[in-house]
Structure 1
């Protein structure tokens, strides 16, 4: 218990103390994110907050993980370093997307082949339980890549990625602690401590953004926690902490980044565009277009994510496939209503501007 609490406090303190210096250096060196057509911010803002998150988290994990629990953690730390280097390089000097993607595959490969962060069962989804080893490897790498980039894509307004990341890491970290997986719990709470400290500087008016360094690292940690959450249920037996329909509950926990990524990719493809071509159709953009501020939008999305988690846990007994159908059906309905309302507000604003000009 004390190791987990101290890991949170240590990560919080180091990140909290490091970020002001990072802000000063970023401003002096011009390492900032400029406003633009697709940007939700209107002022020049430093974008290296992920360096502080990484430093606080790594230091805390190494300091407080008991040696006898270290196990495969060395490989997880190697994957962290790879993703950190990719994110930092992209924040300072934007990388070619292909090279960035290859780096993510390399980090995912380390997790799958060396740290054994791997999906081995679908728990009866579509009637499939145990899966072929090679299928499991491919599915695991795909899942890690998707979650990494899902968090990268939702990092568009103040406080959102940090708040969702804190929610997920505290929730899953608590579960890992309860089942006596202290090493994973320390990873989760170290991330949570760093994110809470970062949020002090990221709430409106934001003094710094986490950048790709932070969002990619956050996505990597979330993918590890999620896959391990799913896999460890195979060994829990009659544990009071066993959760039925674990894969679907995991998707409920990650609903905001996963569904938003699926939604925007689908919309881009239907419009005949590349799924990787940026636009302003993310859920957080729709909330901004509806008249909400950054922090109001973040608050709404965090609350909705909490409600989806509560719903997934309450309905875990209906089975994986049915629970997935319920989760995605509700998500589609809510975002469709939001899309219609945001479009009405855009039309109304455009009409008012036209009248003002005339």
Structure 2
């Protein structure tokens, strides 16, 4: 317990005092996230925030993770530093999607192969239990890549990725603390502490962004935590077994995970790269419905928390049925947002202004088309 408490406080404090320094460095060196037509901010914002909570997280983890024989922690640290370097290069000079993917695969390899962390069972989903070795490896790598990129792709609104990352890492950290997995509890709470401190500067109006350095780190840490959760919670002889473990894990990551898979699928169906840019994320839907950054973040975090609570309450349904329920609920929620946004955009498009030629010397006459198609004199 002491390790977890120290890790949380240490990560918070280091991050808190690092961020103002990073803001000043960004101002001196002109290291900004420039606004464009896709982005929601209109001013240049420093994008080095990920360095701040990376520093807090790494220092807290190095100090507080217990030294255990055959611990995979050294391989995790190697993976975290690989991801840090990938994100840093992308933030400073840019990096192609292929090179980013290679870096993510290298980091995943360090944890999966060297750290021996992988998905070995489907826990009864569609009647499937133990997985063949090749299928197990493919599924584990796929999970890592999706989760890493999920947090990167939802980082489009002030406080959004940080708040959801805080929720997920704190929930998983609390579970590991309860079952006595101190290494993973320290990782979860060190990440939560660093993100809590970072959000002081990142909640709208943001003074700094986390950049890819931060979002990729949140992704890989939570990928490690959720895979370990599946392994530990899926053991019926464990201290706190959880029924329908894969379904509960999906619910814990529902907002970033479902949004990323949905957007990837839509892009590929349109013949585009899954990493191409667009405005089809859930946070874009909420912004188009006239919610501000804080409201968008609160809705996303609230929905994610509701899915987590519901999944734990309904864990006795079985893996297959609970997974289908979680996916159906997420699809219904997203579909509702899509239709509401479509209706909003249709109204905005329909209300057009038509200026008719005016008589000589007279003021122009403006006719406005209402949603009912009736011309009104204005």
The answer, yes or no, to whether TM exceeds 0.5 is yes
* Alignment partners' CA distance in 2, 1:228 and 1:238: 13
Compute the displacement of 1:232 (Å). Answer: 1.4
Identify the range of structure 1 (114-123 vs 242-251) with the bigger mean alpha-carbon deviation. 114-123
**CA RMSD after TM alignment:** 1.6
Does 1:202 find its partner at 2:202? yes
- Give the SS at the match of 1:122: strand
Q: Is the 8 A contact 2:46 2:209 kept in 1?
A: yes
- Where do 5+ consecutive residues of structure 1 fail to align? none
* Alpha-carbon shift at residue 124 of structure 1 (Å): 1.2
Note the alpha carbon deviations across 1:129-176, whole angstroms, 9 max, x for none: 111222212211111011000111101101111110110111000100
CA contact (8 A) 2:243 2:316 kept: yes
- Separation in 2, partners of 1:98, 1:161: 23
Instruction: Please state which structure has a larger fraction of its residues in helix.
Output: 1
Per-residue deviation, residues 264-304 of structure 1 (Å, max 9, x unmatched): 12222333333221101100000000010001000011000
Q: Pairwise mapping of residues 151-300 of structure 1 onto structure 2 (< 5 A)?
A: 151-237=151-237, 239=239, 241-300=240-299
Question: Matches of 1:33 and 1:70 in 2, distance apart?
Answer: 42
Structure 1: distance between partners of 2:69 and 2:221: 18
Count of residue correspondences = 357
Match of 1:114 in 2: 114
Secondary structure of the corresponding residue to residue 67 of structure 1: coil
Question: Could you tell which deviates more after superposition, 283-292 or 311-320?
Answer: 311-320
Normalised to the residue count of structure 2, the TM-score between the two structures is 0.91
User: SS where residue 116 of structure 1 aligns?
Assistant: coil
- What secondary structure does 1:225 align onto? helix
Task: Tell me the equivalent position of 2:362.
Answer: none
Structure 1 residue matching 2:129: 3-state secondary structure: strand
Match of 1:331 in 2: 330
Q: How much does 1:349 deviate?
A: 3.3
Aligned residue in 2 for 1:127:
127
Q: Matches of 1:125 and 1:285 in 2, distance apart?
A: 33
**8 Å contact from structure 1 (residues 69, 183) kept in 2:** no
Given that 1:69 and 1:182 are in contact with CA atoms closer than 8 Å, whether structure 2 keeps it comes out as no
SS at match of 1:105: helix
> In the alignment, what sits opposite 1:147?
147
Distance in structure 2 (CA, Å) of the matches to 1:345 and 1:40: 18
> How many Å apart are 1:355 and its aligned residue?
6.5
TM-score (norm 1): 0.96
Distance in 2 between residues matched to 1:172 and 1:354, nearest whole Å: 53
Alignment of 1:18-37 (within 5 A): 18-37=18-37
User: Equivalent residues in 2 for 1:81-96 (5 A)?
Assistant: 81-96=81-96
Distance 1:43 1:313, change over 3 A: same
1:305 matched to which residue of 2?
A: 304
For residues 238 and 138 of structure 1, do their structure 2 counterparts lie closer, same or farther at Cα, with a shift above 3 Å needed? closer
**What do the CA deviations read for 1:45-70 (whole angstroms, capped 9, x no partner)?**
01111101110000001111222378
Q: Answer yes or no: is the 8 Å Cα contact 2:232–2:238 preserved in 1.
A: no
In our comparison, the structure showing a higher alpha carbon Rg is 2
Question: How far has the Cα of 1:353 moved from its partner?
Answer: 6.5
Query: What does 1:99-110 align with in structure 2 at a 5 Å threshold?
Result: 99-110=99-110
Q: Deviations over 1:11-54 (max 9, x none)?
A: 00000000001011112111111111111111110111110111
Structure 1 stretch displaced more, 230-239 or 87-96: 230-239
User: Residue 116 of structure 1: CA displacement?
Assistant: 1.3
| Partner Cα distance (2:76, 2:354) in 1 | 58
Q: CA deviation at 1:87?
A: 0.2
User: Which gives a bigger RCO, structure 1 or 2 (Cα 8 Å, sep 6+)?
Assistant: 1
- Native 8 Å contact 1:10 1:56 kept in 2: yes
Corresponding position: 1:343 with 2:337: no
Q: Compared with structure 1, are the counterparts of its residues 117 and 348 closer, same or farther at alpha carbon in structure 2 (3 Å cutoff)?
A: same
Residues 75 and 110 in structure 2, CA contact (< 8 A), matched pair in contact too: yes
